[in-house]
């Protein structure tokens, strides 16, 4: 069965300004990598706009309306905090990124595809229910999980996050809700400072911090020895992946030493996990990754593994 790729040009129009690491060229690099001949079998579709109803399953209504009301002029930006910035195209980009996660869940839960990947930005895993943060405006993975529950009858959803930063936003959405599992490997200490191994939620949160310099072997072990068995025990109806590629050795924002081959290995392991737990249902979405070349190669390795596994 083919893999669904969701993206939208509007995601290129979110521009936090010169020298900002979360730049439009990130998505260009990803799409260029996925344009190679080996990806001809990907089924490509346009990301729809998320609706207010879909967003407010996670975010308060006044938060959603406040974000959507920020429409700077084309030559202006509005800083929401030290590193989260909106431009004229940001609101639509954020709606498309969240909408892609919704459409991906629809396709996978209906059985039209086993796997789907959302090549979108801005990312989502730092966004808390009522607080934009860390380049993120809406909590895309959390919105996907809630949609699967609300519309498709999923009882339990697992969100796994291999971005080098801890997904404080996703964790904040669900730390009191045992119907969602959140598992993350991340460098620690590092932004945003959360993700201690002692943070358990209601037994549904598993954080595996890795020290600066940790290599692919340590990264794989975090997943094979800890997170994958915990997801298997949780027995989800859907697996959502927050796929950030900034654990790569070349990434300028962190100090792990993960390589493309490790992302491919983990992706295959997660697909095998989904095959055992939830009829193979995998929805993956782009989070971080700030070395343009490494990001393109790593995303290609991830999608190649989604297609193969
Ligand atoms: Zn990150």
Q: Is the pLDDT of residue 29 over 90?
A: yes
Helix segments in 127-183, DSSP class H? 140-152, 168-174
* pLDDT band (50, 70, 90) for residue 1: low
Instruction: Report yes or no: 3 and 303 within 8 Å, Cβ to Cβ.
Output: yes
Distance from C-alpha of 258 to C-alpha of 250, rounded to nearest angstrom? 9
Q: What is the pLDDT of residue 91?
A: 98
Which residues are found with C-beta within 5 Å of the ion, ligand 1? 163, 165, 244, 246, 288
Per-residue pLDDT, averaged over 73-88, amounts to 97
Task: Please give the distance, rounded to the nearest whole angstrom, from the Cα atom of residue 298 to the centre of ligand 1.
Answer: 14
Tell me what the mean pLDDT of segment 78-105 comes to: 98
Q: Cα(289) to centroid of ligand 1, in Å?
A: 6
- Token pair, residue 2, equals 């083919």
Ligand 1 centroid to residue 163 C-alpha, Å: 5
Rounded to the nearest angstrom, the gap between the alpha carbon of residue 14 and the centroid of all alpha carbons in its chain is 17
CA of 303 relative to ligand 1 center, distance in Å: 18
State which H helix or E strand residue 6 sits in: strand 3-7
Confidence of residue 309 (pLDDT cuts 50, 70, 90): confident
pLDDT in tens, 115-138: 999 999 999 999 999 999 999 999
Instruction: Measure 111 CA to ligand 1 centroid, in angstroms.
Output: 30
Extract the tokens encoding 272: 């095998």
Reported as a single tens digit per residue, the pLDDT across 210-232 is: 999 999 999 999 999 999 999 99
Nearest partner of 204 among 244, 242, 156, 238, judged by Cα: 156
Q: What's the gap in Å between 93 CA and the centre of ligand 1?
A: 18
pTM given for the model: 0.99
Q: Residue 148: which residues within 8 A CB-CB, separation 6 or more?
A: 105, 109, 154, 157, 237, 238, 240
Beta-carbon contacts of residue 194 (< 8 Å; ≥ 6 apart): 166, 168, 171
Which domains are assigned to the chain?
4-308 (3.40.800.20)
- Per the structure block, which two tokens stand in for 225? 């020895």
The C-alpha atoms of residue 232 and residue 44 are separated, in whole angstroms, by 30
C-alpha 296/C-alpha 224 separation (Å) is 25
The pLDDT score that the predictor gives to residue 287 is: 99
CA–centroid distance, 225 to ligand 1, in Å, is: 22
Kindly report the average pLDDT of the chain as a whole number. Answer: 98
**Peptide linkage before 166 cis (omega within 30 of 0):** no
Q: pLDDT at residue 146 above 70?
A: yes
Residues 6+ apart with CB under 8 A from 237: 148, 154, 155, 156, 157, 278, 281
Q: Give the Cβ contact number of residue 25 at 10 Å.
A: 11
Confidence of residue 80 (pLDDT cuts 50, 70, 90): very high
Catalytic residues: 126
Rounded CA gap, 165 and 86, in Å? 21
């Amino acid at each position: 069965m083919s893999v669904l790729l969701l993206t939208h040009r509007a995601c290129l129009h979110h521009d936090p300004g010169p020298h900002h690491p979360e730049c439009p060229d990130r998505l260009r690099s990803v799409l260029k990598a996925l344009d190679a001949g080996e990806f001809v079998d990907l089924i490509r579709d346009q990301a729809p706009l998320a609706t207010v109803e879909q967003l407010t399953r996670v975010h308060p209504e006044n938060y959603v309306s406040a974000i959507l009301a920020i429409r700077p002029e084309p030559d202006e930006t509005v800083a929401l905090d030290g590193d989260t910035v909106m431009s004229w195209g940001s609101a639509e980009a954020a709606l498309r990124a969240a909408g892609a996660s919704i459409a991906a869940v629809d396709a996978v839960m209906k059985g039209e595809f086993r796997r789907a990947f959302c090549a979108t930005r801005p990312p989502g895993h730092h966004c808390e229910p009522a607080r934009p943060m860390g380049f993120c405006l809406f909590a895309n993975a959390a919105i996907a999980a809630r949609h699967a529950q609300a519309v498709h009858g999923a009882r339990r959803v697992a969100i796994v996050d291999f971005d080098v930063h801890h997904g404080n936003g996703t964790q904040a959405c669900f730390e009191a809700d045992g119907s969602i599992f959140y598992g993350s490997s991340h460098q620690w200490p590092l932004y945003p400072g959360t993700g201690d191994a002692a943070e358990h939620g209601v037994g549904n949160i598993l954080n595996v911090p890795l020290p600066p310099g940790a290599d692919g072997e340590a990264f794989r072990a975090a997943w094979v020895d800890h997170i994958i068995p915990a997801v298997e025990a949780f027995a989800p109806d859907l697996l959502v992946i927050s796929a950030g590629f900034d654990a790569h050795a070349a990434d300028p924002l962190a100090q792990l030493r993960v390589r493309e081959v490790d992302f491919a290995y983990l992706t295959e392991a997660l697909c095998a996990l989904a095959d055992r737990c939830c009829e193979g249902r995998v929805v993956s979405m782009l989070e971080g990754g700030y070395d343009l070349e490494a990001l393109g190669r790593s995303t290609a390795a991830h999608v190649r593994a989604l297609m193969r596994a």
